[in-house]
Each structure stands twice: as C-alpha cells, then as structure tokens.
Amino acid sequence: MEAFPVLIRKDRKAIRYLVVDDSVFARKNVAKMVESFGGEIVGEAGDGCTAITEYDRTLPDMVLMDITMPQMEGIEAAERIVRAHPEARIVMVSSVGYQENIVAALQKGARHFVQKPVKSEILYEVIKYVMGDDAAVATPTLQGN
C-alpha cells in the first residue's frame, strides 16, 4: 500500500474513525487504509442502527459510511447522526455513485462522497479536505543529535 504522510488532529492526537459497512471486507479494507494514514479505528458497525449507537458511544472525528445496508441505510443513519450531532463529519463510501444519490447524501448532512472500489489516494485527500483546519500533516520529529 502506498505510504502517505500521517494525518493528525490539531491537538497532535490520532484522528478517530467510525467505519460503517455491512461488508466485513469493506470495513477491513477502509480500516487498513485509514490506519496507514495514522488514524485510529474507534468503532465499526454493519448497519445504520448500530452506526448511530456507535457514534454516540465513541464520538469519532469522522465517520466513513456505506449507503446500501440492511435494516437502516447509510443516508438515513447519516441524517439521524447529523441531527443529533451537527458537528459530525460523515463521508459516504459507496459503489452506487449516481448524482441523485450523492446529492441526497449531501442534503442529509454528509460532507463528502467516495466511490468504491476505494482508492487510498482519493480517500486520503477527501479526509484531509473534510477535516480542514482541524487536521494537519504530522511533521517528523528530529531524533537525537
């Protein structure tokens, strides 16, 4: 996997992520990518209902949310999370990338959209953009003399 400069929060701590997808593989894959960016996975969920519960429990810096899921779809879950937490940063990650779907997600409070199969360089740039001034690229500390 391509190496990326580590992205951290302004307080120099790791960015905390909640990954929501009904596919275990998709969760693993996205988790691996964000960990390679220096992030920390604080929760995972396989459907929209669990995503809401996990958000309340973990209060992550960012949610990476699939759209098509059983029980409750990602757009509805995003809407509910944003209603309760207007500061929530939610990025939709889906294979269904037609314009109406993207617009619906953004109208419900999602901040961005990434199409599957997820490319790490695109996800990195989207996270950096959505975190805005609340994140920075970590500068390596000089060791010893």
Partner 1 sequence: MRIELIQPFINAADAVLAETLQCSTRIGDVSMEEEAYRRKGVASMVTIKGDIEGRIIFDIDTPTAAKVASYLAGSPMPESVEIARETVCELANMVIGSAVTTLNDQGFRFKINPPVVHVAELGEKSSEDQEALVMCFDTDSGNIFMNIAMRYTGRRRADNRPV
How far apart (Å, rounded) are the C-alpha atoms in residues 19 and 124? 15
Map residues 37-56 to x or -, x wherever contact with partner 1 holds by CB under 8 A. --------------------
Residue 70 within binding range of partner 1, rule CB under 8 A? yes
Least distance in angstroms from the C-beta of 131 to partner 1: 23
Among 117, 132, 140, 144, binds partner 1 (CB under 8 A): 117
Least distance in angstroms from the C-beta of 134 to partner 1: 27
Residue 105 within binding range of partner 1, rule CB under 8 A? no
How far apart (Å, rounded) are the C-alpha atoms in residues 34 and 75? 22
Please check whether residue 57 is in contact with residue 81, taking contact to mean a CB–CB distance below 8 angstroms. no
Cis bond upstream, residue 86 (ω within 30)? no
Question: Where do we find the tokens 């996975």?
Answer: 41
Q: In which element (H, E) is residue 81 found?
A: helix 74-84
Binding site for partner 1 (CB under 8 A): 1, 22-26, 28-29, 32, 68-70, 94-101, 115-117, 119
